Amino acid sequence: MTQKPDEPHGGVAAAHRTAVILVLAFALSILVYTGVGLLMLSLRGPHVQAELPYAFYAAAAALAIGSIVLRRAQLHRMRLEAVAATRGVDGLIKHLLNATIISAALAEVIGVLALVVVFFGGEQSDVIRLGVVALLISLYNYPRRSAWQRAVDYFSATGVA
């Protein structure tokens, strides 16, 4: 059945709901990683601060920038047009969902770094910084249903999809 341009595509709502649940689950797990890291630091005795946390900062920065660049590239109009032309509206919706999940997963890896830094001589400030960066990237990747709906409506109306 063909959707009219003025009718919202039902797949957008379901895909968006899935994306929201996954992004929020990733954000919750980032909070858990950060909390466990802080708990482990409070239970640990005195230690020698290593210079290694800077490597974790560099990795977190690379992952954060990579997540932003990946999301921007995957949601660029030309990319969406190519996806809509080759895979149709359903393929476009799946592409939007996949781009969101991959970008949010990169934020999740930064959250894991917030926990792992504890094992390599990190301090409370290291865990908090990495946790905050992970949460910010996760929030950046939060899917906006209106943007998804506009993209689907646009490519449905133009006949590309």
| Domain contains 16 | yes
Identify the domain containing residue 94 by its residue range.
10-43+51-157
| Domain contains 62 | yes
Predicted confidence (pLDDT) at residue 1 exceeds the cutoff of 80: no
Q: What is the pLDDT of residue 46?
A: 64
| Domain contains 98 | yes
| Domain contains 1 | no
Across the chain, mean pLDDT equals: 87
Between CA 148 and CA 117 the distance in angstroms is: 36
| Domain contains 2 | no
- pTM for the predicted model, two decimal places: 0.83
For the stretch 64-121, pLDDT in tens is: 999 999 999 999 989 999 999 999 999 999 999 999 999 999 999 999 999 999 888 8
Number of domains the chain contains = 1
